[in-house]
Structure 1
Amino acid sequence: MDSRIATLRAVLEGRAVRVSDGIVAAQIEGRGVGVVATRALKAGERLVEFPLAELANPRTVKAAVEKAAAAGAAGAAGAAGSAHQTMALWVYLQRFRGAQMAQIDGGRWQSFVAVLPRDLSSWPLMYSAEQLRTAPAEVRTRVERMRAQVRADWAAAAARSGLEIELDRFTWAWLCVNSRCLYFRMGEMAAATDQLTLAPYIDFVNHGPPARDGATESRVGVAAAGPRQRFSLTTTRAYSAGEEVLLSYGAHTNAKLLVEYGFTVADNPWRALDVTAEVRRLLSAEDRERLDGWGYGGDVVLTDDRDLPLQVEVVLAVVAGVDERFVHALMAGQTDGRKIELRVRAVLTGVLERVVAEAERMLTRGDLTADVARLYRERRELAQLHS
């Protein structure tokens, strides 16, 4: 891998991408590839700078995708897809139709595709059915949504390109994009979820959770103005030689990190206990319909803060059979929950007891991944905090 990383860096630098002499990407034990400081780095130091035209995003790869699609039976008639779908199709074509793409773009992205991870087995989307059943309900729900989106994008990409696209290979490409893309605003992309780009080498930087006050290890974004605009990775604090450079992927819980990026982190400051599945089992179909109509049918999530969010309080009040007029007053802020606190807490206690019992039962198993075991330990700790 190190030789492939060195090749990628040389190719990028040959395309006017500046990579600081103060960093190197290399294998880090237990963390895959990461970026390490080779000397002391100052806060505000730009570590990687991309001319915007050298990024890989719907703006820069559109023509290549359209040319590849034109070779398909129905490619010319296909409608443009979302940014994620477009980029997944592009990564798929680059890896699995490399010879065809080399004729289109001269093979300029092959050094990037060569360093993309081949083994994505740590992503729950790639778990076996039996393995997925061992994960908490929140993870299973997230995976179901992701699987539906991947299948929709796969079907649309195949129809759009007119090519025979294998679902397992497209899934690999989709996950690579999902876990490596960065926010990049493009005016021609209307949806917020479409503002994304791939930035080789920057995507080697591992996640460092943002602090509760919003402080981060480094940042990415567009610097300068006009024709000299650059997309850059910039430190926000000083680093010592040998220290790993980190970048926040967002204020994400470990459940979200696992599903979206294939890992969890120890001592994550963004802990949350999702008890949606446990609570929804206590609601009748009529109750769920009422909550949806009131705009309170969303997830039921507890954090390190012992105070109950209004969303949680309302749902638990419905489970407890609290008079609907009181629930409406609660939602409108005309009363607080003190009058129903005992009833709400009784429901919550039962839910939390089931969470703790499930976590303890699952943690006795010998077939959990380290990440799934960490999720159950977190769930037990948060349930005990709120008990």
Structure 2
Amino acid sequence: MDNLNVPVPPASSDSEDKDTIISNLLQYCTEHEIWISPKIAIRRIPGRGLGVYATKPLKAGERIMQVPTAALFSTSSVPPSFVSKEARKGIPVHALLAAYLAFGLSETKRDEYARWMATWPKLTDFTGTMPLLWPEALEQPMTMATATRLGENGISTSSSSATGGLQRETDSVDKFLPLPPSLTGSWLWLHQQQGKAAKEHCEKTTAAAVTTTKLLDIQKRKFQSHLQIIAQTFPTLAPALLSPHDPLHSRFVHMWCNVNSRCFYYLRPGQSPPKDSNEAMAMCPGMDLFNHSDDPSCRTTYDRKGYEVSTLQPLSAGEEILLGYGVHNNDVLWTEYGFVMDDNADDGVQLDEIVLASLTAEQRKTLKNAGYLGDYWVKSDGLCWRTEAVSWLDVLTTSQWLRFIEGNYDPAVADERFALELAGTGDRNETKTGTRKRKRGSNGSIRTTDEVNTVTNDVGTPSQRAKRKQIAWIRATVEMAENSLLGLLSIVTEKGDFQVTGDKSSTELLQRFGDEDAVLEVQNLGGPSIPEVKTSQAALRHRMCVQRWRQILRLCNDVMTTIRESDPTLQDQTTTKGAVNSGSIARRGGNG
């Protein structure tokens, strides 16, 4: 086993020459035969870290970087002296790489990797942006500050009751969720605060409704599992590894986050693809500097020789070359990488809890049998097909609905038959029964236009009823966003001032969003640096929460507007337009 418990050299200080860091990395790449096109350059952009840019025009399909297999950091880089080949069978690849980087490197290896590791994010970069490393109090409902300035903070609440059977009394809630339930918690939480009836409704449906993926909860379980496995593998280090106030614990956390955010999918020569893709990973010097985009301009490929990066489209000199980390919404990007994007075509919010809580047990059974239980999304381009399909579930008969999801029934037929019934030539019950009977007005005559409008507004066509359900589900999400934004903005000054100045607002911000001094002390920050780090850390965490909730609110309101515009009779359902101006802190990627 290599020299254990030897401190990893601290990341470069802000005062260090940034050009030196880049030039040292380029020298490291040259020594490890990593080829970088002379048409690209690594640059540091203030507030965004490192990125890769074109210095000359590039053609589509042009190769711009090549990393040989020998230069990768993978399980092959971990010597048997650290963990035997037999013992490592029970250790996840992610945990093994993190442990070796944290306390297993020999002095020679530390010196070798130092120039590359200097480009990695510091621990404080992760603690400021990744909810995994935030105080657990932020995962629980918080009490709103006493002075909530609705108008001054740009927030307006809605009195709409179109919440799919989940009523909300906006004035009765004095708490809010800092983090969206897509990370942790429940989308039904707000309605569980609204009296006994709503609580009973939610309690009856929660068990069946919770199919939503809770990203932060999953990540926390993964990290704790990895930590326990490493502690069991190195029992003499277990007390330090398991103590949040020990420097060794902080080093493991730091390396775990770097491995998590900077690895690429990789199979060793002869290795079969594992069931868990996380068991096939490697870190790639140079390649880890490409930032993310939902519209990437380059791609990676690999074979036995190594990795290659090539352009997907022509690029002009000065353009940043962006890589796609995957089709990820902002909650995934936030949880895994520590950033969100205001303009993310892949963004979306999962509606499972809200949708399923509005259905009966029999309806959920129908969905399960049809393979339609769960995975309901509202995305930037509208509702997904599964969500739209569920909105027709109790509008059509079961047989019609089953034919509808198979593509063998057009819902427009139901609307046409409904119109015939209103005109007195059909049967309103036909949508459900399939029968046809001639109906007349109350006086035995054909219904007048006014009578038709009255019935339509009271009941609505089948498509109108389906769309109203869609709006109701989205409204429940909007109300959560409104409530959380009210709470978040109630603890800052009326101008959204995030600077800590000693007033009540700034003190409350530090108390709620900052780490304890004891936690910061073990990160080798030094006494004078702790207040500064704590201040910027609390402000950044708060701003990211505000930004994410604003993104959710904007996305949902935009989709609701689109649904309403498709039918004038839906215009009476209120849309909230406040709180959509975000102080931009989004970044594409997390390098440096």
Indicate whether the TM-score tops 0.5. Answer: yes
Please give the per-residue CA displacement for 1:132-184, whole angstroms capped at 9, x wherever unaligned.
43232223321112222222233334334555234655443333223222233
**2:37 is equivalent to residue 20 of structure 1:** yes
Whether the aligned pair in 2 keeps the contact of 1:316 and 1:344 (CA below 8 Å) is yes
DSSP-derived class of the 1:48 partner: strand
Whether the aligned pair in 2 keeps the contact of 1:88 and 1:173 (CA below 8 Å) is no
1:113 aligned to which of 99, 112, 117: 117
Q: Provide the C-alpha distance between the structure 2 equivalents of 1:244 and 1:252, rounded to a whole number of angstroms.
A: 20
**2:474 is equivalent to residue 352 of structure 1:** yes
Partner of 2:217: 144
**Structure 2 spans left out of the alignment, 5+ residues:** 1-11, 13-17, 140-176, 185-213, 243-248, 415-461, 490-541, 565-592
DSSP-derived class of the 1:197 partner: strand
Q: CA deviation at 1:202?
A: 1.2
DSSP-derived class of the 2:322 partner: strand
Partner of 1:158: 231
Q: Provide the C-alpha distance between the structure 1 equivalents of 2:362 and 2:225, rounded to a whole number of angstroms.
A: 31
Query: Residue type matched to 1:38 in 2?
Result: T
Query: Residue type matched to 1:220 in 2?
Result: T
Whether the aligned pair in 2 keeps the contact of 1:208 and 1:248 (CA below 8 Å) is yes
Q: CA deviation at 1:312?
A: 1.6
Q: CA deviation at 1:203?
A: 0.7
Please give the per-residue CA displacement for 1:219-267, whole angstroms capped at 9, x wherever unaligned.
11127xx7xx341222233333333221122232222222222212232
Whether the aligned pair in 2 keeps the contact of 1:263 and 1:371 (CA below 8 Å) is no
Taking a change above 3 Å as real, the CA distance of residues 382 and 155 of structure 1, as seen in their structure-2 partners, is farther
**2:254 is equivalent to residue 190 of structure 1:** no
What is the correspondence of 1:39-58 to structure 2 with a 5 Å cutoff?
A: 39-58=56-75
Q: CA deviation at 1:14?
A: 0.9
Q: CA deviation at 1:306?
A: 4.7
What is the correspondence of 1:290-369 to structure 2 with a 5 Å cutoff?
A: 291-306=367-382, 309=385, 311-317=386-392, 320=394, 324-338=398-412, 339=414, 340-364=462-486, 365-366=488-489, 367-369=542-544
Partner of 1:207: 292
Query: Residue type matched to 2:30 in 1?
Result: E
1:374 aligned to which of 536, 544, 551: 551
Please give the per-residue CA displacement for 1:70-115, whole angstroms capped at 9, x wherever unaligned.
5xxxx9645344xxx3234323332x31xx4215857433333333
Please give the per-residue CA displacement for 1:326-363, whole angstroms capped at 9, x wherever unaligned.
54444444434454534432322222222333333444
Taking a change above 3 Å as real, the CA distance of residues 289 and 32 of structure 1, as seen in their structure-2 partners, is farther
Whether the aligned pair in 2 keeps the contact of 1:49 and 1:232 (CA below 8 Å) is yes
Work out which structure has the larger RCO, using CA pairs closer than 8 Å and 6 or more positions apart in sequence. 2
Please give the per-residue CA displacement for 1:175-201, whole angstroms capped at 9, x wherever unaligned.
322322223344414226134321112
Partner of 1:213: none
Q: CA deviation at 1:293?
A: 5.0
Q: CA deviation at 1:37?
A: 2.8
Partner of 2:567: none
TM-score, normalised to structure 1, is 0.80
Q: Provide the C-alpha distance between the structure 1 equivalents of 2:43 and 2:354, rounded to a whole number of angstroms.
A: 43
Partner of 2:131: 124
Please give the per-residue CA displacement for 1:281-303, whole angstroms capped at 9, x wherever unaligned.
32456655664454322321133
DSSP-derived class of the 1:245 partner: coil
Q: CA deviation at 1:321?
A: 8.1
2:300 aligned to which of 207, 220, 229: 220
Mark the structure with the bigger radius of gyration: 2
Partner of 1:265: 341
Whether the aligned pair in 2 keeps the contact of 1:68 and 1:161 (CA below 8 Å) is no
- Work out the percentage of aligned pairs sharing the same amino acid: 24
Taking a change above 3 Å as real, the CA distance of residues 103 and 356 of structure 1, as seen in their structure-2 partners, is closer
Q: Provide the C-alpha distance between the structure 1 equivalents of 2:483 and 2:377, rounded to a whole number of angstroms.
A: 22
Taking a change above 3 Å as real, the CA distance of residues 316 and 147 of structure 1, as seen in their structure-2 partners, is farther
Q: Give the count of matched residue pairs.
A: 363
Q: CA deviation at 1:18?
A: 1.8
TM-score, normalised to structure 2, is 0.54
Taking a change above 3 Å as real, the CA distance of residues 90 and 106 of structure 1, as seen in their structure-2 partners, is same
Q: Provide the C-alpha distance between the structure 1 equivalents of 2:26 and 2:317, rounded to a whole number of angstroms.
A: 20
2:179 aligned to which of 112, 116, 135: 135
What is the correspondence of 1:26-105 to structure 2 with a 5 Å cutoff?
A: 26-58=43-75, 60-61=76-77, 63-64=78-79, 66-69=80-83, 77-81=87-91, 85-94=92-101, 96-97=102-103, 100-102=104-106, 105=109
**2:286 is equivalent to residue 282 of structure 1:** no
Query: Residue type matched to 1:239 in 2?
Result: L
Q: Provide the C-alpha distance between the structure 1 equivalents of 2:384 and 2:37, rounded to a whole number of angstroms.
A: 47
2:332 aligned to which of 256, 277, 290: 256
**Structure 1 spans left out of the alignment, 5+ residues:** 211-215
DSSP-derived class of the 1:219 partner: strand
- CA-atom RMSD in angstroms: 3.2
Q: CA deviation at 1:17?
A: 1.4
Taking a change above 3 Å as real, the CA distance of residues 296 and 21 of structure 1, as seen in their structure-2 partners, is same
Taking a change above 3 Å as real, the CA distance of residues 351 and 109 of structure 1, as seen in their structure-2 partners, is same
**2:430 is equivalent to residue 386 of structure 1:** no
Partner of 2:206: none
DSSP-derived class of the 2:358 partner: coil
**2:309 is equivalent to residue 233 of structure 1:** yes
Taking a change above 3 Å as real, the CA distance of residues 307 and 236 of structure 1, as seen in their structure-2 partners, is closer
Taking a change above 3 Å as real, the CA distance of residues 19 and 265 of structure 1, as seen in their structure-2 partners, is same
